Every structure is written in structure tokens, then in C-alpha cells.
Chains A and B, each alone.
Chain A
């Protein structure tokens, strides 16, 4: 199985700032990487797929990058509605696996 390691697990940031979350895969996933946002009490929502493609309706302050085993989610100009937990997920092969999550809080 491909293991997905996210860092940091917790992140505190101020409104208007930019943040980055990293996701490391235990083997080359060839860009088959998605990011999800989960707000408290809700189901996750797809933000980014194929490492850098923005899902329809997702604000452009979200962006993704990376290749091979290492990927980054960047949120620019942090807004109050961005407070959530973020998960990466690979879809290179079965089983599909998620990272452990990064909880984003306001400083």
C-alpha cells in the first residue's frame, strides 16, 4: 500500500497570510494526488485533483503543485472560511489512501 504522510498535523495562521501543507507519498504516484477540505461536522470536499487542477467552484487562492512523491497545497490570502482540516489522497493504485490530515486554525 502507498502511505501518505502529511505535515504539519496542526497549523496556526493569520487571516490574509499564505500557508503551505505538504504531502509525501511512499512511492511515485505520478501526479495522481487530490486534496480535500473538511470543515467541522461536514463531509470532505474535493479541492484539487491531478496535483494542481482546481475543482470547479474552488476559489483561486487554493493551488497545488508537486510531482513524484512530494506535493504541496498552498492557500493564499487566508480567509475565515478556510479554517478546516485538509487531507491529501493518492489515486495511483488500489487501495486508495489518505494522509493523516492537517488541521488549520486561526492565530
Chain B
């Protein structure tokens, strides 16, 4: 079955970076888009963008351009998101998710989320 296993919680200082991981299993990693979503505690969902591991293509929502960078390692079926120049406003849960059927822009499978806390 499709599974997305995310890395553990991060505590980071302002101005630094964190790299989150999302290890996929149960399907062909290169055939489906991986999305990233931000959720501040008690708040709604924000789409950050996607990476297509098949060719490394990426899309970033305007708000997250320059903040997030997506990469993927096809040898380990793992997607990564680098968050840079951290501020307290970046403190949130970050979810990876996989699209549904190819061509559908649905969040059909989700990782468990990674909590990032930015504090001095």
C-alpha cells in the first residue's frame, strides 16, 4: 500500500535552514507528483508546491518562492523540502502528499507530518 514516511520534528534557530524528508513506498516513485503542504497549529492548509520525481520538475506557490526548495532522490524514493531563512512564521506542521491518479491534482495519500519549530 502507498505510504509516505516523514522525518522527525525539527527545532531550528531563526535565519537557519531545515531539510525535511518524505520517504515513499508501495508504488512507483517516479510516476506520481509529490506535494508539500503547510499547516500552522490550529490553522488551515496551504499548498507550497510540488515536485515530479520522474523528471525533477517543480512548481512553487508564489508565497513560497525563495522559501522552499524541493528535491527528490529516486534511488531511495525520497522527496525533500529545504526551508531556508527561517523565521517564527515558518513554525508549522509540514505534510508531504501524493497525487491521486496520474493527471489528478488531488492529495490522495499523506505523510504523518513534520513539526518545525523556529525559535531562538
Stretch of A41-49, A60-68, A72-80 contacting B (4+ beta carbons < 8 Å): A41-49
- Which B residues are CB-close (under 8 A) to A45? 110
Say yes or no: is B95 at the interface (Cβ < 8 Å to chain A). yes
User: Roughly how many angstroms separate A91 CA and B46 CA in the complex, as a whole number?
Assistant: 13
Task: Determine the main DSSP class of B at the interface with A.
Answer: loop
Say yes or no: is A87 at the interface (Cβ < 8 Å to chain B). yes
Once the chains bind, are B45 and A91 in contact (CB under 8 Å)?
no
User: Roughly how many angstroms separate A50 CA and B95 CA in the complex, as a whole number?
Assistant: 23
Output the nearest chain A residue to B111 by Cβ-Cβ distance: A43
Once the chains bind, are B100 and A98 in contact (CB under 8 Å)?
no
Say yes or no: is B32 at the interface (Cβ < 8 Å to chain A). no
User: Roughly how many angstroms separate A95 CA and B65 CA in the complex, as a whole number?
Assistant: 12
Near B by CB (< 8 A), chain A positions 24-60 give 32, 34, 36, 42-46, 49, 55
- Which B residues are CB-close (under 8 A) to A43? 95, 97, 110-113
Say yes or no: is B102 at the interface (Cβ < 8 Å to chain A). no
**A11 to B: closest C-beta gap in Å:** 16
User: Roughly how many angstroms separate A100 CA and B40 CA in the complex, as a whole number?
Assistant: 12
- Which A residues are CB-close (under 8 A) to B113? 43
Say yes or no: is B11 at the interface (Cβ < 8 Å to chain A). no
From B47, B104, B111, A98 is in contact (CB under 8 Å) with B47
Subset of 25 A-B contacts with CB under 8 Å? A32-B105, A36-B45, A36-B107, A42-B112, A43-B95, A43-B97, A43-B110, A43-B113, A44-B45, A44-B95, A44-B110, A45-B110, A46-B100, A46-B106, A46-B107, A49-B100, A49-B106, A89-B45, A94-B61, A95-B62, A96-B35, A97-B47, A98-B46, A98-B47, A99-B44
